[in-house]
A and B are shown apart, each in its own frame.
Chain A
């Protein structure tokens, strides 16, 4: 189903001991280019603000050779936000690439696994229901950790509900949709009954935002994402047949289903970590793998490139949200406002070619 306009090219295979892959120069080139662009936007984003800092000074400070004033502004004030953007973008991009590959459906973003809906329901509950246990939970574990647990819990619930002598991609999607519907209904009901000022607070969170990040909030997402990326990288190489469909996959044996389960779990955790740091930023998980796939002319979403496109999209959108508009909007509004038309543009261009 993926990549209607992209034909897999016949490319030479490469084997290095246990690891074998198809040598595609384009994807390496695109990935390097994306990495460079991401780093550049990351540095620009740190430099821009009420106290502008030049690009060379930003890079020097990141490398540990900056002046003391710059060090304070960059490392203490701006780095958490920029890192949050980077981490959330990568997490969403990779999570989207995994789910889209496994479900063989480009609409199968992590949202469908219930993660974002569950995290949102927990957060909106904590924001709108004041007093008693809600306040106690927020003060002891923090809003973002509670959201992480909510997203993770919902994701696992979907996964285990879909388990029936193995997990079938289609069943997973249907269960995910129904669990998400329940979580969204709870969220809607909480919003209907809540005080309007709390609703505004919840709504700002619901759209996805990088405002006022501190090191404490970023740290969890950062470590989760790093560990998960290592796991994904180590199993992904054995997972080339994931887009061939369930029948062929079943023929490849038990090892395959374990690997797929591990990857799905990683996708859920990555999405939960992202939501805990920035709220359910829309669209990045859906669009980043699709863009990466088209840039690299791959038949399936490439993992690394998807993560980089996600980071580029999120940091760039945050930059726009802070600077280009008269009022400061949450980053989620901008990712959607840029990403939506961009996806449409890609479609139209692919059709006209």
Chain B
């Protein structure tokens, strides 16, 4: 806000600031409300009193209440927490990668994160015969991180180091290569193909806290790194020469930024599978709401990501009962038309 306040008359600057804080608060309220709904809604609908009981009551002998406790604590709470955590990670990751690559159509998938995770999942299933997501989630994270590091490493070699275009092209090259290898494995091993199609849909269900806590730890580290770099990211977007002139260590800022993106997207993808389009979409909506200042844009994108993923997960539980529609599928089905309307109304500028 500092720069805007200097350029503009003071009252108007404070006004904008207040509006942004209020907007952020409203997003947080929406997120909490969605979280409550998420606990109550599902194959078995629960009343608020039942949810409360499930969350806080001590175990007792009533079989019906024990069942509710079980549903709330082992099913509803984990998937709600994961949707929020992963949504924040993907939203922030999407906003950051568009900032660091200065490419408005960049998505976290661009760093090879999704492709690396998918390849790792398919490979360990084909080689070790794993069938349980708990067994391959760590390989997914490893694959995501390695792919991210390789892409960034390749893009950092030599004269074009840090050039946004080089990074995007290197990401595309590695992504397509890994996707081909994934298909090659999947086509020769039917079990891997079967696991891959469910993994690929992207879902926040079916993962317990034994996975969620470690994943959250990685995401928190990523968020801290990301937030620390926001002021320099603003300057980077003025162009490398201007940023250098203003005293930004470009290589450091970019490296830390890319590490943060890899942690955020890699951890979220490991736990949920590739959820495409979410990061790209919320980054644009956030930019429309806040303007180009990344210190505001990134928190907005994070909260928006969480709201969208959570709402999509809730809707997915309701529309094809008794089955469920995966959150990743719904993010695209619901989010894309909404996004298209905003685009058509001319809300977005080439950033």
Listed in ascending order, the chain A residues whose CB lies under 8 Å from chain B are: 1, 4-5, 105-107, 112, 161-162, 164, 170-171, 173-175, 177-179, 181-182, 184-186, 188-189, 191-192, 196, 199-200, 203-204, 206-207, 282-283, 286, 290, 327, 329-330, 332-337, 339-344, 347-348, 350-353
Contact = CB atoms under 8 A, between A and B. Distances in A.
Interface in B280-299: 280-281, 284
Given A170-B348, A177-B105, A196-B190, 18 more contacts: A106-B165, A161-B340, A161-B344, A162-B343, A178-B277, A181-B276, A181-B332, A182-B333, A185-B331, A186-B333, A189-B329, A191-B197, A192-B201, A199-B197, A207-B180, A337-B184, A341-B177, A347-B155
Interface stretch (B27-35, B86-94, B167-175, B231-239): B167-175
B213 interface: no
Contacts of B344: 161-162, 164, 171, 175
B346 interface: yes
B186 interface: yes
Nearest to B154: A344
B337 A351 contact: no
Contacts of A107: 103, 105, 168-169, 172
Nearest to A325: B184
Interface stretch (B71-79, B134-142, B156-164, B260-268): B156-164
B183 interface: yes
Given A107-B169, A107-B172, A175 B340 contact: yes
Nearest to A344: B173
B222 interface: no
B43 interface: no
Nearest to A170: B350
Contacts of A339: 173, 176-177
Contacts of B326: 188-189, 192
A286 B105 CA distance: 15
Contacts, number: 180
Contacts of B346: 164, 171
Contact of A351 (B160, B177, B194): B160
Nearest to B183: A207
A175 B343 contact: yes
B187 A171 contact: no
A189 B183 contact: no
Contacts of B343: 162, 171, 174-175, 178
30 contacts: A164-B344, A170-B348, A173-B105, A177-B277, A184-B332, A185-B331, A188-B197, A189-B326, A189-B329, A196-B194, A199-B197, A200-B187, A203-B183, A206-B183, A286-B172, A329-B187, A330-B183, A333-B184, A335-B180, A336-B177, A336-B180, A337-B181, A339-B177, A340-B174, A343-B173, A344-B174, A347-B154, A347-B160, A347-B170, A348-B154
